[in-house]
A = this chain, B = another copy of it.
Amino acid sequence: MTLDEWWRAYQLYTDYTELLDTQRLDDWIHLFEDDCLVRVMSAENDKAGLPLALMRCEGVPGLRDRVHAIKEVSVYAPRTMRHVVSGLRLTRQGGDFLATASFVVTQSLEGAQTTVFASGVYRDRLTPAGDRLRFAEKVAVYDGDLVVNSMVYPL
Contact = CB atoms under 8 A, between A and B. Distances in A.
Interface of A: 3-4, 6-7, 11, 13-14, 17-18, 21-22, 43-44, 80, 82-89, 100, 102-104, 106, 108-121, 142-147
Given A102-B21, A121-B21, A145-B111, A86 B84 contact: yes
A43 B81 CA distance: 12
Given A87-B13, A119-B106, A113 B146 contact: yes
Nearest to A1: B11
A115 B112 contact: no
A51 B4 CA distance: 40
Contact of A82 (B143, B146, B147): B143
Given A3-B7, A116-B116, A119-B114, A144 B86 contact: no
A13 to B, nearest CB: 7
Contact of A104 (B18, B88, B104): B104
Given A3-B7, A18-B100, A85-B86, 12 more contacts: A13-B87, A18-B89, A18-B102, A21-B102, A82-B102, A82-B121, A84-B85, A84-B103, A108-B145, A112-B144, A114-B116, A114-B118
A107 to B, nearest CB: 8
A96 to B, nearest CB: 20
Contacts of A7: 3, 6
A104 B102 contact: no
A14 B3 CA distance: 14
